[in-house]
Chains A and B, each alone.
Chain A
């Protein structure tokens, strides 16, 4: 059974700081890994999708890496902004099933 852990559970940083969110998973036989953003009371916004054959994906200030062998992914956010404040979810895709982590709640302080 796949288990996905995100550390830290909460993070508070000053505006402008670069930061890294971590995601670890127990079963390396994955098809893909997605990072989502969820604002309070809102739905999911897909940020980055990494297929199992890829090592990283980039979109703007976001960069996600994937190391299947070690069961880890990181989401790097450069030059953080208050608008980045949200909960970030890691979702590991297996056959016919996606397992979500519990998320990291990020607060960027102006």
Chain B
């Protein structure tokens, strides 16, 4: 149980285009979903926290107009990287908390974005 999926697993796009990454909780409902980013040879850093039906809360330094987060349902959150540039190339990972309680975050496998 508590499986989180991400789609796509890899994406390559041209500079200036927008890319959408989906995060789904497959066998549970998630009150909260989180998005993390990993720069090369660095650890994962929290970008934003999203609750179903409300606006995401972004960490300091993360541009909310650049990284659009939509949490449309209790099983789906999307991250859209708008007008992507090479410096946005990174590894993006989502996680989700169980609706039923508890504070364990279950992580998706991640999406590797490469912007040419």
A-side interface residues toward B, CB under 8 Å?
Answer: 4, 31-32, 36, 41-46, 49, 51, 89, 91, 93-98, 100-103
Cα distance A101–B45 in the bound complex, in angstroms: 10
Interface residue from B104, B105, B107, B112 paired with A41 (Cβ < 8 Å) = B112
Interface residue from A4, A32, A42 paired with B103 (Cβ < 8 Å) = A32
Prevailing SS type, chain A contact patch: strand
Interface residue from A46, A89, A96 paired with B43 (Cβ < 8 Å) = A89
- On chain B, which size bracket covers the interface? 20 to 34
Q: Is residue B67 contacting chain A, with contact meaning CB distance below 8 A?
A: no
Beta-carbon contact of A98 and B105 below 8 Å = yes
Beta-carbon contact of B103 and A93 below 8 Å = yes
Q: Smallest Cβ distance from B37 to chain A, in angstroms?
A: 11
**A102 to chain B: closest residue by CB:** B43
Interface residue from A4, A94, A98 paired with B95 (Cβ < 8 Å) = A98
Q: Is residue B32 contacting chain A, with contact meaning CB distance below 8 A?
A: yes
Most chain A beta-carbon contacts within 10 A, residue among B45, B93, B105, B112 = B105
Beta-carbon contact of B103 and A46 below 8 Å = no
